Structure 1
Amino acid sequence: MPGISFICDFKEDLRNKENLILQSLDSLIHFEHYKKDILINEKSYFLGCTLYDGYPMSHIDNNEHFLCIEGKLYGKDERRTRIELNYLANTLNGPIQEVKEGLSEWLLNTDGDFVIFVLNKRNNEINIINDALGRLPLYYYKGNKKLIVSREVRFIKHLIGGIKFDRMAIAQYLLFCYPLGKRTLFENVNRLEPATIIRIKLCDSQIEINNIFQFNFDKKKYASRNIEDNANHLVDLFNEACKDRNDSFKDYNNILSLSGGLDSRSVGACLQKNDIPFCGATFLDFNKTSETDVKIAKQLADIFNIDLNVIVLSPPKGKDNFKLLRIKNGLNYLSMSFILPFFDKIKEIYRSRIIYITGDGGDKFLHDIGPFKKLSNLDELINYIILNNQIFSLDRISVLTGIQKNELIDNLKNHLISYPEKEYNQKYVHFIIYERGFKWLFEGEDRNRFYFLSITPFYSIQFVNYAMNCPDSQKSNYRLYRKFLNNMNPEASKIDYADYGMPITSKKFNFNLLMRSIFNKLPATIKTTIKKVAKKPISYKYDSTIIKCLRDQLKNCNHIGEYLSQVEIENILNNPDIYRKQDIETLFTITSTIEDYHCNESTIEKYFEIDFI
């Protein structure tokens, strides 16, 4: 993974472990065009990084500070960035509460995807800070007088050895396809929360980790403003976000990931409106489920007057699964391996210095993502979350992991209580943004960054802050989104929305929304029955490659049985037709990760050139 890796050890001289540290860095060089760099190598602390040409990594070294920034502060040129970083470094002195107050204000006003490292040479203090949304996933291990921080879990694993898996995290992964909160799949290896500061006092051998703030979605600051004013202001912020990102990467090729959805066309409309040059790219998957998206993407490309590359994909092979396993360590589930040949082709076409622009985030901030009904208590919230987000059932997870159903629910309950919101409906919104958004989608974006820079204007902190302060009533039924998109490009809003097969401006679309609203208010049991009748879930066949590979994993790696019931896995493999493909793929991601880390090999390699269908 391109990015920084840091070690602090107050018990051992790190210079005596230089070979191990360099080997650990080498394990992050996944492609030939990667390189590593040693930035600091001292007795008790080490800072290194891996990167490729065009990946944003810079540092400042003066008499007072050594500063390193991975990523970008958008809207600020190199000179202004240096001024901002020096200002930031000087605000980090003092009691932690004062630092948090000043840092909170700075983060909420600083648009960027970044991790910042600051060494104060005068007071021998180190601070590591991420942006307000934690856009670049960062992982850490904190032991006795030791801290390891890295953009990739594999670096930490190489250094601490004897890594174990977190049983509760595995259960949560089987439930949602991502662990919750700070958890990763690995015991004692955490993910740094957004807007967090790691403070290390070298003189006192002290290590502190403090969250600076969390968003509270109860408050809707702009609820009294009319929908036209809110839409217009959001367009202004979106324009600024797109221009600032373009200014930050002026000598790069802008490639828009264009689909039939609303989010990518919104980005395209904004880029065109601001005369920002870009090309489009989309794919036709091997089973042609994206045919409608491709058709609509072509229509949009004509409106934007851009070239569109349609890349036809073959079925994913074992080598694609293996590559994704190694670069994301199970944190991006292996079914997404089909996208890797798409990225390879983009690199082949556009070479280096690519900016891959997506519409990620639009579905979170311009839609009403709250529950379809009023939730009155914590139990209702938990039931709603599970019903609308689960992969495996709680009963099946309990049999697979040995974790009792009530233990899993209690853990989820305590996590939800920690959210700052008082309203249960807004706690659900917090769950969707902080858990599904930050854990599922951000890991997907990070997968993209292994190939080239991946950015989205929807995660501009100013845009997010404003959008989440608009009332949910304005977002319902796409009301706010319609005005937002129509403001930027009325023609783009008249093109079919792939999810509905019609434009969002049509009367038929409003009727469709009404029917869906009625359906969503039906009892859960009735909705489940209707869904089963309307569309039978797609399952894997008994002799599918993934089923065969799973069987081989059970034979080759006894460690899988330490975390999951082999008997229950066998039951699943013997009856794959009663499980959705997503269920099998989620289980496969877990077993593959356990095998890779515990057995230091992967059965997937035996299926390198075989299609996973």
Structure 2
Amino acid sequence: MCGITGKIKFDNSIVSEEEILRMNEKIKHRGPDDGGVLCDKNIGLGSRRLSILDLSPAGHMPMVSEDGQAVIAYNGEIYDFKKDKEELEKDGFKFKSKSDTEVVLYLYKKFGIDCLSKLNGMFGFVIYDKEKRIIFGTRDRFGEKPLKYYWDGETFIFASELKAILENREVKKEIDKQAVYDYLTYQYVPEPRTGFKNIFKLPPAHYFVLDLSNRTLKIERYWNLDYSAKLYLNESEWGEKIIESAEEAVRARMVSDVPLGAFLSGGVDSSLVVAMMAKNSEKPIKTFSIGFDEAKFDEREYARSVARLFKTDHHEFIVKSDMIADLPGLVESYEEPYGDPSMLPTYYLAKFTKQFVTVALNGDAGDENFAGYGRYKVYQKSLIFNKIPRWLRRFGRAVLKFIKKRVYSNSFIMNVIKFIDSLDADEIEKYIRYIGYFTDKEKREMLEPDFLNNLSNSSLFLKSVSDKAKKYNWLDRILYTDFNSYLPDDLMTKVDIATMKVSLESRAPLLDRNFVELMAKIPPELKLKSGESKYILKKALRGILPDEILYRKKMGFGVPAGEWFRGELKNYYRKTVIEDSSFVSQIIKKEYLEKLFAENIAVGGEGRKLWLLLCLELWYRAYFKS
């Protein structure tokens, strides 16, 4: 795993090695083992390397093709590259290393942009093609690895992380208000925005071509997840296919020249991965779990149960509220406005795990593949509740709001109110209310008028994604939407930043291309059946995992934010966010901030909106407050 940088100037000036080295230094954590620079007049490429495969100097980057006509800066892992290498050798290509980087380079030499159809893995890479006079860059299908860029018509800059781009004098730091507005709904910035004007992230499953002759930048999608080709097998047959495909994906990700382990929460997905790893390893698998003193958020007992079952070498770490002191630095590492509370335990889990291994497998994307999130069940229920007369729904809502004022809680009751409100909304508006924080209506009420000028509704982003899946069943449409929004922009961002901050490579077997494409063929009624989420996956795992793991209540991977804001963080939040000099208090009306604070620290308040605003304030201070 690595980090990449690069710069192309069109004003006839030279790109110096010093410019690329400064960018490289900003992402050294992504690749502490090696670094390299290659400059050719107005073009410069850089790389930082975390050695996983072929630890020798032969894997040094940027890597140049044998004929000298192509240069690659590469970040990622291709899991079936040895098969491709054999085919390339038959065609006469000669290799100097055992790395997947060189295989990707020669796949490009042979197939051009069509090489992307050959790749199964996670990646973000850029190739300078001297012969065609183009810069070609791309990102993997699910956004596991990042690729960000700046383009003003005169200068093109790319990097794995924003902080390297911001190192350049051509880049002026300006807030993208639309990105901040969208963040307040989603807790992340939807692609292609980043929070900074003129800096963008390449969407997953896309590539760009920068034509060096005419200064044009073209961006195209090269792959899309297809839910239309269903396989109507019986449940037993599907169970066999799921386990077989999962095992193949796990086995491919166990190839490593450095120590390897797995994150284990004790949930279905991570337990599946550990089960397959144990089956394919002669030695005990190293597993890593994280917990909290607050029992409602602590999953360690489930993780221990799985660890005992598969005889793993198990390790645990406890996250405590005083660790919030690391939050400002962590928010700075995320670079964009990012408010998923699970960033904190994910970072500590990665930091703890790095003490023992360099590569860790995870269970990410099980929910997207098999409809595991609770919101899918809620949406299904809404289809039934829509049949209740509107006057009766409104009466129920009024009663609940009256109760809420008396008990001053905004967790369960507020969720029920949100559910009732959503019944009159269209499909995507309804879904946004399940997953979102502040609705467009709330934001128009709470934000200062000056900030609201020329901003579009945040719902337009998710609508644009969902519209591409109109032909599918309602569940497939939502799964497609999550695969193209929440998964890359929230989950993959969280894992990439948290792990690479400590130079740990994380691999997601359940995002194997072949696995995901096969799971998309499962009829939706086998994923969510009789109110049971992940129905077919759980059935497939009967006999492999115990029922106490398969059918336990889903907990998620959050933090006890409500408890923390009612305790140690209460004064910290008020001082940081509500004070008059804060960025948040400049864009959100003071009375709204006070009301929100009071509601969220009440008994039963979850504090997630407070966390969202706290992270926004810390982001602003990290990047804009002198």
- TM-score in terms of structure 1 length: 0.79
CA contact (8 A) 1:482 1:493 kept: no
- Supply the AA of the counterpart residue of 2:515: F
SS at match of 1:22: helix
- Supply the AA of the counterpart residue of 1:143: D
2:172 aligns to what?
A: 162
Q: CA deviation at 1:414?
A: 5.2
SS at match of 1:419: helix
1:355 aligns to what?
A: 359
Are residues 1:234 and 2:217 paired?
Answer: no
2:110 aligns to what?
A: 90
- Supply the AA of the counterpart residue of 1:408: N
1:145 aligns to what?
A: 154
Q: CA deviation at 1:36?
A: 6.5
Change (3 A) 1:129 1:311: same
CA contact (8 A) 1:145 1:206 kept: no
Instruction: Work out the CA distance in 2 between the residues paired with 1:547 and 1:53.
Output: 44
SS at match of 1:492: coil
CA contact (8 A) 1:4 1:48 kept: yes
Instruction: Work out the CA distance in 1 between the residues paired with 2:573 and 2:225.
Output: 43
- Supply the AA of the counterpart residue of 1:580: E
CA contact (8 A) 1:223 1:470 kept: yes
Instruction: Work out the CA distance in 2 between the residues paired with 1:149 and 1:459.
Output: 25
Aligned with 2:368 (options 361, 364, 369): 364
After TM superposition, the structure 1 = structure 2 runs for residues 12-91 of structure 1, keeping only pairs within 5 Å, are 13-15=13-15, 19-29=18-28, 34=32, 37-54=35-52, 59-63=63-67, 64-77=69-82, 79-80=85-86, 81=100, 82-83=102-103, 85-91=105-111
After TM superposition, the structure 1 = structure 2 runs for residues 101-500 of structure 1, keeping only pairs within 5 Å, are 102-103=114-115, 106-107=116-117, 109-159=118-168, 160-217=170-227, 219=228, 221-247=229-255, 249=256, 251-275=257-281, 277=283, 278-291=285-298, 293-333=299-339, 335=341, 336-348=343-355, 350=356, 354-367=358-371, 370=376, 371-372=379-380, 380-401=426-447, 402=449, 403=452, 407-408=456-457, 411-412=460-461, 415-416=464-465, 418-423=467-472, 425=474, 426-446=476-496, 447-451=498-502, 452-476=504-528, 477=532, 478-486=534-542, 490-497=543-550, 499-500=552-553
Moved over 6 A (4+): 375-378
Q: CA deviation at 1:576?
A: 4.4
Change (3 A) 1:11 1:337: same
- Supply the AA of the counterpart residue of 1:457: P
Of 553-562 and 121-130, the range deviating more from structure 2: 553-562
SS at match of 2:253: helix
CA contact (8 A) 1:366 1:467 kept: yes
Q: CA deviation at 1:442?
A: 0.2
SS at match of 2:149: strand
Instruction: Work out the CA distance in 1 between the residues paired with 2:153 and 2:575.
Output: 40
Q: CA deviation at 1:543?
A: 7.1
Q: CA deviation at 1:236?
A: 1.8
Instruction: Work out the CA distance in 1 between the residues paired with 2:582 and 2:607.
Output: 25
Instruction: Work out the CA distance in 1 between the residues paired with 2:282 and 2:193.
Output: 39
Which stretches in structure 1 are left out of the alignment for 5+ residues? 93-98, 503-535, 601-613
Q: CA deviation at 1:570?
A: 4.8
2:406 aligns to what?
A: none
1:589 aligns to what?
A: 615
- Supply the AA of the counterpart residue of 2:125: I
Instruction: Work out the CA distance in 1 between the residues paired with 2:282 and 2:508.
Output: 14
Once the two structures are superposed, residues 282-323 of structure 1 have per-residue CA deviations (whole angstroms, 9 ceiling, x without a partner) of 1222434444x2112222112111121122333243442122
Of 45-54 and 256-265, the range deviating more from structure 2: 45-54
Q: CA deviation at 1:330?
A: 4.0
Once the two structures are superposed, residues 339-361 of structure 1 have per-residue CA deviations (whole angstroms, 9 ceiling, x without a partner) of 4344333333x1xx521111111
SS at match of 2:208: strand
CA contact (8 A) 2:163 2:335 kept: yes
Change (3 A) 1:170 1:233: same
CA contact (8 A) 2:266 2:304 kept: no
Q: CA deviation at 1:200?
A: 2.2
CA contact (8 A) 1:320 1:340 kept: no
CA contact (8 A) 1:183 1:191 kept: yes
Of 126-135 and 312-321, the range deviating more from structure 2: 312-321
CA contact (8 A) 1:28 1:50 kept: yes
Q: CA deviation at 1:74?
A: 0.1
2:569 aligns to what?
A: 545
CA contact (8 A) 2:148 2:199 kept: yes
Q: CA deviation at 1:445?
A: 1.3
Once the two structures are superposed, residues 218-241 of structure 1 have per-residue CA deviations (whole angstroms, 9 ceiling, x without a partner) of x1x233222322222222221211
Instruction: Work out the CA distance in 2 between the residues paired with 1:429 and 1:257.
Output: 24
Q: CA deviation at 1:473?
A: 0.9
CA contact (8 A) 2:259 2:359 kept: yes
Q: CA deviation at 1:112?
A: 0.6
Instruction: Work out the CA distance in 1 between the residues paired with 2:74 and 2:455.
Output: 44
SS at match of 2:220: strand
Q: Give aligned-pair identity as a percent.
A: 16
Which stretches in structure 2 are left out of the alignment for 5+ residues? 87-99, 387-422
Instruction: Work out the CA distance in 1 between the residues paired with 2:321 and 2:564.
Output: 14
SS at match of 1:144: coil
- Supply the AA of the counterpart residue of 1:232: E
Change (3 A) 1:270 1:584: same
Q: CA deviation at 1:584?
A: 0.4
SS at match of 1:387: helix
CA contact (8 A) 2:580 2:586 kept: no
